[in-house]
Amino acid sequence: MINKKRFCLISIVITIGLVTAAMTYHWGTTIVAFAANSNSPDGIISIKAGSGNSTAPLTTFTPQKVEIMKGDTVRWYNPTKVGEPHTVTFVLDNKTMTDFAMPFGVASSTQFMSIPPHSNSEPVSIPGKEATKTIVAVNSRVYNPVVIDSTNNVKTLKPNATYVFNGNEKYANSGFLLPKGHDKNYPGSSNTFTVTFQNSGIYRYLCIIHPWMTGEIVVK
């Protein structure tokens, strides 16, 4: 026969279990961060773009959803142990959606040499008409920090860009974010992307390299 004390203990354990299950169901793996709990000493909210290592790279933004106040600043960085790049890309106008590798026509005499020594890479090169051929190259508007405004003005920012959203953007991109030390194999790439949000709203973004990698900034 179960005595009163044991019954009470079993009830508590069951309740904790049910609450945990409900929280997991409701939030899944999403971790919500609040500006009041900004996770760096300078008050900037940090978000990991990817993580893990070569055998288990994580293609997620952590936290995936962040709630902040107008005027708050968010900084993305890549803590992966290997040189796996990510981007933080806001596609605010569907027509600005793009890909990190695109075909371009170039003079047929052009030769391409890999910069990282002994890298397992070569460009796709297809003979084209007359004196041109087509190569598939990394798209500067994904590789570099770039903002396109409502008048289609394309502005390339410096690596490790700091940007203030003004509500006039069609497209805003971090450029390739690499862990410190791995960026030297990608000249001109970044370690961080820092954005200040002046206007309230929901800002959704993705990694162009891994489009299932998405995140959300809710500005109150």
- Residues lying near Cu ion in the complex (CB under 5 A) are found at 86, 207, 209-210, 213
Which of 144, 107, 101, 141 minimizes the C-alpha distance to 123? 101
Given the complex with Cu ion, which of 86 and 170 has the nearer CB atom?
86
Q: What is the DSSP letter of 35?
A: G
The token pair that represents 155 in the structure block: 């502005």
CB of 99 to Cu ion, least distance (A): 13
Which residue is nearest to Cu ion, using beta carbons? 207
SS3 161: coil
Q: Which is nearer to Cu ion, 141 or 210 (CB)?
A: 210
Nearer to Cu ion, 149 or 216 (CB): 216
Cα 163 from Cα 86, distance rounded (Å) = 18
Residue 61 near residue 46, CB atoms below 8 Å: no
Minimum distance from CB of 144 to Cu ion (Å)? 16
**At its nearest, how many Å lie between Cu ion and the CB of residue 160?**
17
Tokens of residue 218, six digits? 């809710």
Min separation Cβ 59 and Cu ion, Å? 5
Task: Name residues whose C-beta falls within 8 Å of residue 99's C-beta, 6 or more positions apart in sequence.
Answer: 139, 142, 208
C-beta of 100 vs 165, nearer to Cu ion: 100
| Beta carbon nearer to Cu ion, 75 or 86 | 86
